[in-house]
Amino acid sequence: MSKKDFVIPFVGLKQGVHEFNFEIGKAFFESIEYSIVQEGNVNVTFLLDKKEAMLIGDYTIRGTVKASCDRCTEPVDVEVEGEFQLVYKFDDKPSEDESLVIVYPEEYEIDIKESIHEFIAVSIPSRTVHEEGECNEEITNILSEYQVFTLNEDGSIKPDEEDA
């Protein structure tokens, strides 16, 4: 996977909407240093609306990535999906707005690789666990030795039998 695969030269594009599609796989995640995702299959559709003073980028992300289970730390497939928008403004002054990317007058292309990676990362749920009974049994047995409480069906905490 080449770095140029995610570089969009906007200078030659006519005004209006242009569609770009990307198949994100293991090579993409391996090419990013310190990525929280190491593997996955994600489809990204990037709609670039070129206007006179700005570019509007709409990202649609759908797919599956491998993450660590919060319970047993083994890999688990996690669905990711989301829609995001970035505005690329032609200007010569920096901006503090996170959804606004400044495109300086000497630039003629935008690199969307980091944006795609960030949007995939923020699409991962805050808690990732295997379905009930699918966790690594050895790890869950070790964890249960140190468990000091259990949850009732309503989510309230009930003390273990030994502590009562």
The verdict on residue 87 lying in a domain is yes
Q: Which residues constitute the domain of residue 15?
A: 3-134
58 has which bridge partners?
47, 85
Q: How many domains does the chain have?
A: 1
Q: Residue 152 domain-assigned?
A: no
Residue 164: pLDDT over 50: no
CA 151 from chain centre, in angstroms, equals 31
> Can you give the pLDDT at residue 122?
94
Residues constituting the chain? 164
Instruction: Decide if 57 is inside a domain.
Output: yes
Name the residue with higher pLDDT: 69 or 155.
69
pLDDT of residue 119: 96
Q: How far apart are CA 94 and CA 90, in angstroms?
A: 10
Whether 38 has a pLDDT exceeding 90, the answer reads: no
Task: Examine residue 64 and state whether it is found in any structural domain, yes or no.
Answer: yes
pLDDT at 161 over 80: no
**Least-confidence region, from 2-6, 29-33, 34-38, 124-128:** 2-6
pLDDT at 160: 56
Rounded distance, CA 88 to CA 71, Å?
Answer: 40
**129 pLDDT higher than 60:** yes
Of residues 80 and 74, the one with the higher pLDDT is 80
Is residue 50 pLDDT above 70, yes or no? yes
Q: How far apart are CA 19 and CA 17, in angstroms?
A: 7
Residue 4 near residue 113, CB atoms below 8 Å: no
- Is 60 within 8 Å of 112 (Cβ atoms)? no
Mean pLDDT of 126-141: 80
**Maximum CA extent, the chain:** 73
